[in-house]
Amino acid sequence: MKIAIVGAGIGGLTLALMLHRQGVQSDIYEAVPEVREIGVGITLLPHAIRELAQLGLLPQLEADGIENLESVFFNRFGQFIYREARGRHAGYDVPEIGVHRGKLHRALYQAAIERLGPARLHLDHRFAAVEQDETGATMLFRTSQGEARAPVRADVVIACDGVNSAVRRQFYPDEQLAFGGINTWRGVSIHPPILTGRSYMRIGSVETGKLVIYPIADNIDGKGNQLINWTGEIRQAGAAMNDWNKPGKIEDFIGLYQDWRFDWLDVPALLRASQEILEYPMVDKDPVPRWTFGRVTFLGDAAHPMYPRGSNGSAQAIVDAKTLSGLLANTTDAPAALKAYEDLRLQPTAKVVETNRTVPPDFIIIKVDELSGDKPFRHIDDLISQDELRRMSDEYKRIAGFALDAPAPKVS
């Protein structure tokens, strides 16, 4: 079976490596002429780490990143709301790791080069169209300069080309990104360890200004400082959508956090220490009724673009790859395997998309702000019990597929 993967991101590379592990070869077609380490931080949840460990990548990721000890929630006044252990410390058989996205991508890309061979990774291939007949699919590509490349023939085409998927656009030409007025800014700062030095922190809510902060590299300067990833969010009625293609400016959002100076963290100082700031809109797409069209299907953000909340976008792409690779490795009927994959993954991921919109992990803080009237409180127990907060947190894990007792992903 000749399998073509469009996109050499996290989902596409993971799929290729999982197929290779089961003795199935694939070719990857990537739009950019050169693969570089870009982006900021990413958190790899246990259900993602478990699959990457099967590929032999866990030692590299542990060396490149930081294992999370705990997740801690605070209101915008710096008051403690809730704490829970994470990864191995919560009883999972694998860790939860914060790492630079570029380091994760590099580990996957290098593994693909070594295991598949460099001839199977085709850079500077911008997808233009796909045509199908009874025996296969023909893909058309162009270079970054717009020149046509020779057509590529395959039995299966898997779109792993992200939220703005060119493959998906062929089947849903009128589809638009869903933007609800939430913009984000992201950066990394060199800073002394915060709290335990292994803490994943959520502060405030998207209604009045929210921050997610966690370390992604230890002793970055030989002086004990860490590389700290941070993301700021705010919902603003009538706000224009941030531009992916330009750097962010601190003056556009620092006012939200100017007074956030707690006895455990000076937030403005952390944000101002970032040498580069990226801005993004908080976007997703409404779930669609189907991903599979004959010999073509979607995976990861091309299939189910979701808000980057709960660290779940990459995890769901990796679970997609696990499911699809298992089906393709055990069949000679490619279209049937693609349809079976859709049947297994479409509805669960649609539920995650909806949950990330309405009751993401930081809904805990929104609920507490509602109970307190968005004012400082004497003690969290005056408002809500830790048991109730734990129930809310566990419900998100259940929907996202990484509850402690969650079964392994189905592959048939």
Going by C-alpha positions, the residue among 381, 397, 395, 354 that lies closest to residue 79 is 381
Provide the 3-class DSSP secondary structure of residue 134. coil
Q: In the chain, pLDDT over 90 holds for what percent of residues?
A: 84
46-54 and 313-328 helices, crossing angle to 10°: 40
Residue 276 CA: distances (Å) to CA of 185, 346, 352: 10, 36, 31
Name residues whose C-beta falls within 8 Å of residue 379's C-beta, 6 or more positions apart in sequence. Answer: none
Residue 90 lies in a domain: no
Question: Taking 50 as the threshold, does the pLDDT of residue 411 lie above it?
Answer: no
Residue 406 lies in a domain: no
Q: Which DSSP helix (H) or strand (E) runs through 82?
A: strand 80-85
Average pLDDT in the 216-236 region? 95
Residue 201 lies in a domain: no
Q: Please provide residue 291's backbone torsions phi and psi, each rounded to the nearest 5 degrees.
A: -110, -25
Which CATH number does the domain housing residue 164 bear? 3.50.50.60
Residue 33 lies in a domain: yes
Q: 51 burial class (0-12, 13-18, 19+ CB within 10 angstroms)?
A: buried
Q: In the chain, pLDDT over 70 holds for what percent of residues?
A: 98
Residue 112 lies in a domain: yes
Residue 210 lies in a domain: no
Q: Give the Cα separation of 315 and 47 in Å (integer).
A: 7
pLDDT tens per residue, range 288-338: 999 999 999 999 999 999 988 777 889 999 999 999 999 999 998 999 999
Q: Which domain holds residue 118?
A: 3-43+100-176+287-358
Residue 223 lies in a domain: no
pLDDT tens per residue, range 350-385: 999 999 888 888 899 999 999 999 999 999 999 999
Q: What value does the mean pLDDT of the chain take?
A: 94
Residue 328 lies in a domain: yes
Going by C-alpha positions, the residue among 307, 104, 361, 50 that lies closest to residue 217 is 104
Q: Per the structure, how many domains does the chain have?
A: 1
Question: Taking 80 as the threshold, does the pLDDT of residue 39 lie above it?
Answer: no
Average pLDDT in the 140-161 region? 97
Question: Taking 50 as the threshold, does the pLDDT of residue 135 lie above it?
Answer: yes
Q: Give the Cα separation of 264 and 95 in Å (integer).
A: 26
